[in-house]
Amino acid sequence: MAASIEQITANMVSLTSSINETSSSITETSSSIKNVADVTQEMVTSATQVTTSINEIANSIRHVSTETDSLVTSINDTASTIDEMAQSIKSVAENAENLASAAEETSSSINEMAASIEEVSATSENLAALVEQISATIEQTVHSVQGVSTSAEKISESASSSASASMQLDRSIRSIANLAKTADEITNRATKDAQEGASTIEKSIKALLKIKETMKQSSTVIRDMGKRSSEIGSIVNTINLIAERTNLLSLNASIEAARAGEAGRGFAVVAEEIRNLAERAAKATSDIASIIKTFQEVTQEAVTTTNEGLKIAEEGSTLAEDAGKSLKKILLGIEDVAQLVNQISTATNEQLTAGQNLVNEASITATQAKQIANATSEQSKAVYGMVQISGQMRKIAQQVSQAMAEQAKASRNIIKAAQNTNNYAASVSRATKEQADGANQIARVMESMKKSTTIISKAISEQATAGEQVSREALRLARLIENINRAMSEQANAANQIDKAAENMKRQADQITKAMSEQSRAMKDTSFAIDNIIKQIKLITGGNIKQSELTTKISELILDIRRFFEKDVEIVHDSEKIISNLIEKVKSLDILWKKGQSKLG
């Protein structure tokens, strides 16, 4: 487009230059017409040339006349075309101005758009960073939620195990309470039994002491009995000895009686009776001895037994005393135990209520922990969803930032292009202004040309009629010029004469000039005009050709410009679309962001 605009400006410059050239050509035309006048004056000076030239002029005037008619029409056409061109240039200028303003607006809007795109890009980068942060936070949240989930599961397990443990605790506390009750009863019974035992032991201690005393007494009695029995034994020995001696005596008496024969017969009987008595006495004493022996053995056994019994009684009394002491200690211990059991039963009663509360609390905790575990598993699911969403968000943000970068690049390019367009439009507007000015000038010129051409055409028609006369005069002039030519050819032979004649001719020509000036006051104007016209026409036709070429080029360029503008418009539409898409994506991002925040919150 820039190139086309450059072309346009170049063309416009060339157009203006051509227009300038046209104007300068027109001025040149006027000068050339002046030159023509000079030439005519010169021609006038050269009479021969003048006649031919007059003929030619006449012819040319005729020709010019016809040409002028066609010129007039063509000038009219040209004028109208130039008007149209001027109008079109004006409209082009207006359009160029509009274009410029539109381009400015477009560039400003593009700037705004670029700025907004930059902002959006920056915002989307921030958004991408935020999304990264969010995704990182969400990943941390995932970790923490997973940790919370596992810990919640563990809590749930431990809560359920603690619930079951507290149930077991409750059961064991109940059994302990029952045991404490039974222990209380048992200790009460044991206290009673111990008290009874203590009293029994005291009684038995007293009885044992009595037994001890009795045993002592009986042992002394038995010892006395032993003594007596040994005394009896000695007596028995004495009796036994007496019995033995009596037996011995009776035997000796029997021996003596036998020796005495018949005289000692009665004595022998007595001796035998004595021996029998002694024998009986010995037997009795031996019986007594055996009885006393057994009695002594029995008393000895009784003594040892009583001694042992005494020992046992002493030991029993000491043992009973020890038992009494230990029973007293046991009683004290049992009282302590009873107190402790009472404390335990009260404590177990308190524990029972506390354990019931614990069971309730533990069951509540278990259900809560289960709920927490479920909630955390749901949270982890949701967080996984959030992770997926944040991944999508990340992708979208990356895509958005990429698109925004591309857009920013494109918008920068657009800005550059718009600036270029702006510059080009400004230059175009400038050029078109200049063109318009030039066209206006041309139009004015053309107006004046029109007026002058109408005047000219009138003059030319007058000239035509006069030209007829002139031509007739020119014929005559031609003849004269032929004559002059002849004279000139004659004169050519003698150049010096010619010079002189020329000087004469000069003078004559001056005269002719004066005459011609008189004659062709209109001629001057005419020829001047004609020359001008011719040159101008030539120039105009050239310029027109150039202009038509240029205008076609301009129109093409304008079409190009329009195309470029259409492309701009399309680009702008695309960017609008992109922007609307961006807006939608940003809105969806905002919605996602809000969702994420609400879920995070």
Q: Which is nearer to other proteins, 248 or 492 (CB)?
A: 248
Q: Which residue has 């404590």 as its token pair?
A: 347
What contacts 137, CB < 8 A, 6 or more positions away? 600
Using the rule CB under 8 A, which residue among 275, 546, 553, 585 binds other proteins? 275
Q: Does 241 bind other proteins (CB under 8 A)?
A: yes
3-state percent helix, strand, coil for the chain, nearest multiple of 5: 100, 0, 0
| Other CB atoms within 10 Å distance of the CB of residue 296 | 17
Identify the sign of the CA torsion 175, 178, 182, 184.
positive
Q: Using the minimum distance from each CB to other proteins, give the nearer residue, 270 or 340.
A: 270
CA distance 99 to 432: 12
Tokens standing for residue 569: 């418009």
CB 402 within 8 A of CB 120: no
Return the range that interacts with other proteins (CB under 8 A); candidates 267-275, 335-343, 498-506, 564-572.
267-275
Phi-psi region of 261 (alpha: psi -120 to 50; beta: other; left: phi over 0): left
- Residue 279, interface with other proteins (CB under 8 A)? yes
| 285 lines the binding site for other proteins (CB under 8 A) | no
411 binds other proteins (CB under 8 A): no
User: What is the distance between the alpha carbons of residues 170 and 320, in angstroms, rounded to a whole number?
Assistant: 46
CB atoms within 10 A of CB 511: 12
- Kindly state whether residue 260 participates in binding other proteins, applying the rule CB under 8 A: no
Among 13, 186, 209, 251, which residue interacts with other proteins (rule: CB under 8 A)? Answer: 251
Applying CB under 8 A, does 255 fall inside the site for other proteins? Answer: yes
Nearer to other proteins, 248 or 583 (CB): 248
Window of 58-66, 272-280, 495-503, 580-588 that interacts with other proteins by CB under 8 A: 272-280
Of the listed pieces 15-23, 97-105, 245-253, 517-525, which binds other proteins according to CB under 8 A? Answer: 245-253
Q: Which is nearer to other proteins, 122 or 248 (CB)?
A: 248
Question: Judged by CB under 8 A, does residue 263 bind other proteins?
Answer: no
Q: Is 247 in the site for other proteins (CB under 8 A)?
A: yes
CA distance readout (Å), 353 to 161, 174, 356, 362, 363: 20, 10, 5, 14, 15
Query: Can residue 292 be called a binding residue for other proteins (CB under 8 A)?
Result: no
The region of 254-262, 323-331, 497-505, 583-591 touching other proteins under the rule CB under 8 A is: 254-262
Shortest gap between Cβ of 255 and other proteins (angstroms)? 6
Give least dist CB 250 to other proteins, A: 8
**Per CB under 8 A, which region of 127-135, 191-199, 243-251, 567-575 contacts other proteins?**
243-251
Do the Cβ atoms of 564 and 1 come closer than 8 Å?
Answer: yes
Task: For residues 257 and 250, give the distance between their C-alpha atoms in angstroms, rounded to a whole number.
Answer: 10
Q: Which C-beta is closer to other proteins: that of 237 or that of 374?
A: 237
Burial of 320-332, coded b for 16+ CB within 10 Å and e otherwise, reads beebbeebeebbe
Q: Is 375 in the site for other proteins (CB under 8 A)?
A: no
Cα 402 to its chain centre, rounded Å, is 17
Residue 143 half-sphere exposure toward CB, CA atoms < 13 A: 5
Please identify which residue in 244, 437, 482, 490 interacts with other proteins, judged by CB under 8 A. Answer: 244
Q: Which of 139, 272, 490, 556 binds other proteins (CB under 8 A)?
A: 272
CB of 117 within 8 A of CB of 411?
A: yes
Task: Report the residue from 3, 248, 494, 591 that binds other proteins according to the rule CB under 8 A.
Answer: 248
Distance from C-alpha of 593 to C-alpha of 587, rounded to nearest angstrom: 9
Q: How far is the CB of 294 from other proteins (least distance, A)?
A: 21
Smallest distance, Å, CB 232 to other proteins? 17
| Residue 6 binds to other proteins (criterion: CB under 8 A) | no
Give 274 or 455: the residue with its C-beta nearer to other proteins.
274
Out of 52, 254, 306, 453, the residue judged to bind other proteins by CB under 8 A: 254
Q: Does residue 252 belong to the site contacting other proteins (CB under 8 A)?
A: yes
Smallest separation (angstroms) from other proteins to the CB of 256: 9
* 265/567 with CB nearer other proteins: 265
DSSP calls for 473-494: HHHHHHHHHHHHHHHHHHHHHS
Contacts of 173 (CB under 8 A, 6+ apart): 348, 351, 352, 355
Q: Provide the minimum distance between the beta carbon of 251 and other proteins in the complex, in angstroms, as a whole number.
A: 5
Q: Which is nearer to other proteins, 283 or 500 (CB)?
A: 283
Residue 239 · residue 261 · CB < 8 Å: no
Of 115, 129, 258, 583, which one interacts with other proteins (CB under 8 A)?
258
Residues forming the site for other proteins (CB under 8 A): 240-241, 244-245, 247-248, 250-252, 254-255, 258-259, 271-272, 275, 279
